[in-house]
Amino acid sequence: MRFHHSSFRIGSRGESDVRDLTGPVREAVAASGLRQGLVHLFVSGSTCALTTLEYEPGLVEDLGGALERIAPSDRAYEHGKAWGDDNGRSHIRASLIGPSLTVPLVDGTVALGRWQQIVLVEMDTRPRDREILVQVIGE
Amino acid sequence: MRFHHSSFRIGSRGESDVRDLTGPVREAVAASGLRQGLVHLFVSGSTCALTTLEYEPGLVEDLGGALERIAPSDRAYEHGKAWGDDNGRSHIRASLIGPSLTVPLVDGTVALGRWQQIVLVEMDTRPRDREILVQVIGE
Amino acid sequence: MRFHHSSFRIGSRGESDVRDLTGPVREAVAASGLRQGLVHLFVSGSTCALTTLEYEPGLVEDLGGALERIAPSDRAYEHGKAWGDDNGRSHIRASLIGPSLTVPLVDGTVALGRWQQIVLVEMDTRPRDREILVQVIGE
């Protein structure tokens, strides 16, 4: 059993932007030399989330619509009243989905479904530069 | 430290069906021979999710009701407009809950609460055959 | 590669109470002596969840508001009809967020963002005593 740590950065275009991380994650796994185990992904920061999605423009728009229903943008958030920030909803949306994703590594491949991509969902109200931490554990 | 990979399949009856995976997961853990560590579960595919739930018929129905509020079935999804699929809401619900769950392995037992089961939540609009990947890491 | 298991308990004040676990998690990691790898956290029980949040009173209140929209308290739940329990919504909210969180361990530090804390979100309708299981895997 070995352990390999790496990270990469990706820019987002602001609220409800979705970025496909599958390519960079596959590169990080290849660099690890490991072929069986787990790949753990984490985004630092409290206004961003990781999950999987069939990455196509329709679903990206649909996901933004669902996040708007869960934590609407036209609502007054206590976070904003206290700190003057306009991104109370961003924090809430990010907490509900979560900053972390773990995927299996089988025979050197990240074992995703055919229409399943690893994605970052930007929740903040402005473009951000995000760091993704990648931990590969296995053999 | 060792690593053990296995998988099993389970059928679902379609939208908002919930299947109890606790038994098959315990079997996979027993087959690994490991007694301390982590059990990682992953469902391949972008219209299905894993979580824990007290598995009883009332909560299964309640969970379906909540998913209907988050991503209603009577709404037009961009995914459907672009691809003709009727399961835009399925993708969105699956992304919000996520395809992955990790549970602790303590003294040979999956350390769940007394009323806590590992469940698959089918989001797709039709019955599906699902593959669950199980990675056990530990001692 | 080594593996270290520990646990700690924390009390909650009831529904939508949020507790900052970052301090106890850092202590558990320090006790493990491990410096690179993964920290996995799990809360036993089906009416409680783990995630990350910027831990400040405004966002704690905002998170409670979002949970109320997702699974309202003024709704009749099948769980309650069947079992007489008043916490059907608690189970649903807990399942949607999930009982598990994994964070990276880099150079002896839990690699959170600057405004990002590890939190327990109590979903039950009464104060509870919660056990958090901590598994550290790494070098």
Residues A83-136 have pLDDT tens digits of 888 999 999 999 999 999 999 999 999 999 999 999 999 999 999 999 999 999
Nearest C-alpha neighbor of A124 from the set C54, B72, C21, B46:
C54
**pLDDT tens per residue across span B11-24:** 999 999 999 999 99
Task: Report whether pLDDT(A53) > 90.
Answer: yes
Instruction: Measure A107 CA to nearest chain B CA, in Å.
Output: 11
The per-residue pLDDT for C82 is 81
pTM for this predicted structure = 0.97
Residue C85 predicted with pLDDT over 90: no
Q: Assign C95 a pLDDT band (cuts: 50, 70, 90).
A: very high
* Facing C102 at nearest CB: one of B66, B102, B106: B102
What pLDDT score does B85 carry? 87
* Residue B118: pLDDT over 90: yes
Q: How many domains does chain B have?
A: 1
Say which residue the tokens 């949607």 belong to. C96
**Chain C residues within an 8 Å CB radius of B138:** 3, 137
Token pair, residue C18, equals 């949020």
Q: Return the pLDDT at C52.
A: 98
pLDDT at residue C83 in the model: 83
Mean predicted confidence (pLDDT) in C42-63: 97
Predicted pLDDT of residue C26: 98
Q: For C69-96, what is the mean pLDDT?
A: 94
Ordered DSSP codes for C32-70:
HT--SEEEEEEE-SSSEEEEEE---HHHHHHHHHHHHHH
Query: Structural domain of residue C9, as residue ranges?
Result: 2-138
Task: Give Cβ neighbours of residue B56 (< 8 Å, ≥ 6 apart).
Answer: C79, C82, C83
The pLDDT value given to residue B83: 83
- Chain C touching partners, 3 or more CB pairs below 8 A: A, B
Q: Quick check: helix, strand or coil at residue C3?
A: strand
Q: What is the dihedral of CA C104, C110, C115, C117, to 10 degrees?
A: 90
Mean pLDDT of all residues in C13-18: 98
Q: What is the pLDDT of residues B55-112, one digit of tens each?
A: 999 999 999 999 999 999 999 999 998 888 899 999 999 999 999 999 999 999 999 9
In the predicted structure, residue B48 carries a pLDDT above the cut 90: yes
**B54 closest CB neighbour out of C1, C46, C78:** C46
* Structure confidence at residue A83 (pLDDT): 83
**Phi, psi (degrees; rounded to nearest 5) at A7:** -155, 160
Statement: residue C30 has pLDDT above 90: yes
Q: What's the confidence (pLDDT) of residue B12?
A: 98
Q: What is the CATH number of the domain that holds B48?
A: 2.60.120.460
pLDDT at residue C84 in the model: 86
Is A99 within 8 Å of C52 when comparing Cβ atoms?
Answer: yes
pLDDT at A84: 86
A30 contact B CB<8A: no
Set of chain B residues whose Cβ sits within 8 Å of the Cβ of A104? 5, 40, 42, 133, 135
C133 interfacial to chain B (CB closer than 8 Å): yes
Spatial strand order in the sheet of B37-43: B2-11, B129-138, B37-43, B100-106, B109-110
Q: Mean pLDDT of all residues in chain A?
A: 97
